[in-house]
């Protein structure tokens, strides 16, 4: 999949509600007043203020001491967890699509001088997280993510592994997964990470075949992770039932996310990503 259209994303940035001061200077408006050129407001001088900040022109006119305040520009830290279990990697297209999504977030973050961390989550990934800052890395990170190989062995238990490798107190946590796990496990994950995160986005990715099963006649469906099998004689009613169940599953995920104040978005493999980022994400306040 091409990412030629990524330059459209260059001017976008990730929206974070909680504006906290970062350790490093960035391009982001911080709630703390700093040294940027953007004017904020005036305030009467109080003891302890830096006398260098007094606006002497105002003093000349009013004989009162005022301090001119400027906005401070700060970075935020963004971490992307990409589900790399077998359910994600089984379908090549779905896997490429998921990687592209992660790369796009990385691209946007780095182009905004934010700190970006990428973490594939699987049973066998033990490599340290990839952390970058600066727009100079934006191309690099895209290539890196897109070339991420599949795990060689069967990989399962996304939630447990994510919990294991969880990096706390990042400004923005983006989870990209197909959520093929019992809701309880996901709930446990949310519960465990909730006190240690600031803002979480949950991107639920589904394959085309998962939305509308194209199978016919009698099939034995094998779970890619659990290896469990189920015999299904395909029929319209069965497919209808499946769709109902899937819908329920999604609804429960949404409810769960809402409970933990996590933004939920669903994306289906093969969807127009350009449209997804520039319309859906902006509409839902993920980007601006």
Partner 1 sequence: MGFLNPYMFALITLIGLFVLFYFFRKQYEKKVIPSNMIWIQVMKEREASRFFQKWQNHLLFWLQLLSLLFLMFALMRPYLTVEREKGEEFIFIVDTSATMLANHGSKTVFDRHKEEMLSILDQLHEQEVTIITAGSNPEIQLWKESDRKKIKDAIEGLSVTYEHENIAQALRLARAMLANEKGAIHLFSDGVKWEEVTKIINDRYVVVHNSQEDVINVSLRSFVVGSMFDKVKGIAVLKNDSDVKREATFSVKGEKGILFQKTVVLSPDSEMLIPIDSLPKQSFYYGIVDVEDEYVPDNFSTALFHQNTQPVYVHGNISPFFVRGLESIGVDVYHLDDQQTAPHEKGIVATDLSSIEDDYGIGYFLFESTTENLEPVLGSIKQVDDPLLNYVDMRNVHISKSRSSSPFNELESIVSVGDRPLIQKGMLDGIPTVAFLFPIEQTDWPMHPNFPIFLYNSYEWLVQQSKPMEYFQPGEKKWLNFESELVEVFSIDGKNLYTVQTNREAFQAPFEPGIYQAISGHQIYYFSVLIDEQEKKVSSEKSFTLNDSLLDGTTGEKQQVGTNSLWFPLALFALLILFVEWEVFRRNA
Give how far the C-alpha of residue 122 lies from the chain's centroid of Cα atoms, to the nearest Å: 17
Q: How many residues bind partner 1 (CB under 8 A)?
A: 36
Q: Select 87 or 111, whichever has its Cβ closest to partner 1.
A: 87
For residue 185, the minimal CB distance to partner 1 (Å) is 11
Interaction between residue 238 and partner 1 (CB under 8 A): yes
Q: How far is CA 21 from CA 111, 123, 252, 286, in A?
A: 19, 34, 35, 20
The interface region with partner 1, picked from 1-9, 56-64, 187-195, 221-229 by CB under 8 A, is 221-229
Instruction: Please list, in sequence order, all residues whose beta carbon lies within 8 angstroms of the beta carbon of residue 166, skipping any fewer than 6 positions away.
Output: 192, 193, 196
Binding residue for partner 1, selected from 131, 157, 163, 210, defined by CB under 8 A: 210
Residue 136, CB-side half-sphere exposure with 13 Å CA sphere = 0
Q: How far is it, in rounded angstroms, from Cα 94 to Cα 270?
A: 8
153/209 with CB nearer partner 1: 209
Nearer to partner 1, 11 or 245 (CB): 245
Residues 166-205, mask of contacts with partner 1 (x by CB under 8 A) = ------------x-xxx-----------------------
For the chain, the first-to-last Cα distance in angstroms comes to 24
The answer to whether the beta carbons of residues 141 and 168 sit under 8 Å apart is no
**Burial environment of residue 135 by CB neighbours within 10 A (0 to 12, 13 to 18, 19 or more):** middle
Among 65, 246, 268, 278, binds partner 1 (CB under 8 A): 246
Q: Which is nearer to partner 1, 183 or 278 (CB)?
A: 183
Determine the Cα–Cα distance for residues 169 and 245; give it in Å rounded to an integer. Answer: 35
Residues 6+ apart with CB under 8 A from 187: 256
Closer to partner 1 at the Cβ: 91 or 113? 91
Considering only residues 80-99, where is the footprint of partner 1 by CB under 8 A? 86-88, 90-91, 94
Residue 88 CB, nearest distance to partner 1 (Å)? Answer: 7
**Which residue, 88 or 174, has its beta carbon nearer to partner 1?**
88
Binding region for partner 1 (CB under 8 A): 86-88, 90-91, 94, 178, 180-182, 207, 209-210, 215, 217-226, 228-233, 238, 241-242, 245-246, 249
């Amino acid at each position: 999949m091409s990412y030629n259209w990524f330059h459209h994303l260059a001017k976008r940035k990730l929206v974070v509600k909680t504006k906290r001061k970062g350790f490093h200077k960035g391009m982001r408006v911080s709630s703390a007043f700093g040294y940027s050129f953007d004017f904020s407001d005036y305030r009467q001088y109080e003891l302890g203020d830096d006398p260098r900040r007094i606006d002497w022109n105002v003093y000349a006119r009013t004989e009162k001491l005022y301090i001119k305040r400027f906005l401070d520009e700060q970075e935020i830290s963004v971490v992307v967890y990409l589900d790399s279990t077998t359910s994600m990697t089984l379908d090549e297209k779905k896997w490429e699509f998921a990687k592209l999504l992660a790369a796009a977030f990385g691209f946007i973050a780095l182009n905004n001088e934010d700190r970006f961390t990428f973490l594939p989550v699987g049973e066998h990934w033990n490599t340290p997280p990839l952390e970058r800052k600066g727009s100079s890395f934006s191309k690099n990170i895209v290539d890196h993510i897109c070339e991420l190989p599949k795990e060689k062995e069967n990989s399962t238990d996304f939630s447990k592994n994510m919990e294991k490798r969880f990096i706390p107190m990042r400004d923005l946590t983006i989870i990209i997964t197909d959520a093929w796990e019992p809701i309880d496990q996901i709930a446990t994950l949310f519960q465990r990470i909730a006190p240690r995160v600031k803002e979480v986005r949950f991107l639920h990715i589904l394959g085309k075949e998962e939305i509308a099963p194209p199978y016919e006649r009698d099939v034995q469906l094998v779970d890619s992770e659990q290896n469990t099998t189920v015999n299904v004689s395909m029929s319209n009613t069965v497919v209808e039932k499946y769709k109902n169940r899937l819908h329920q599953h999604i609804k429960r995920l949404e409810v769960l996310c809402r409970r933990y104040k996590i933004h939920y978005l669903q994306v289906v493999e093969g969807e127009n990503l350009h449209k997804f980022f520039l319309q859906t994400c902006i509409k839902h306040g993920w980007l601006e």
